[in-house]
Amino acid sequence: MRIKESEINGIVVLTLSGKMMLDAKSISVHEYVKDLIKQGKTKIVMDMGKITWFGSTGLGALLASYTSLKDNNGALKVARATRKIRSVFMFTQIIKVLENYDTVEEAIASF
């Protein structure tokens, strides 16, 4: 998995691409988010439109990131989740916790 970081109006946008699963080559999303928190960046949008595979490890990383941000008075929003990812969110009831938006712009505007 790859992570591309950008910032819009003080909100960090992490564009994730590839497979969001555990392997030696993947960057840990949660570790990345914890580094952002250390820098004082606690408003984050994860753009998931380019994720090609999403498993339980990816779900765990999202929840851990959400919790770390919430514990530091921050927030995590998800944008452009694919139909398959949204179905995982619905099945696991995570959809009740993570705010999901159709576009990155809508997620940014929600802060």
Tell which residue, 77, 24, 76, 23, has the closest CA to residue 53: 23
3-state class (DSSP) for residue 31: helix
Angle, helix 29-38 to helix 56-71, in steps of 10 degrees:
10
Distance, CA of 35 to CA of 23 (rounded, Å) = 20
- Write down all domains in the chain, each with its CATH number in brackets: 2-109 (3.30.750.24)
Q: Dump pLDDT digits (tens) for 32-84.
A: 999 999 999 999 999 999 998 887 888 888 999 999 999 999 999 999 999 98
| 24 pLDDT tier (thresholds 50, 70, 90) | very low
Q: How far is CA 59 from the centre of its chain?
A: 9
Residue 49: CB atoms within 10 A of its CB come to: 16
3-state class (DSSP) for residue 81: coil
Q: What is the pTM of this model?
A: 0.90
3-state class (DSSP) for residue 102: coil
Does the pLDDT at position 92 exceed 70? yes
Residue 65: CB atoms within 10 A of its CB come to: 25
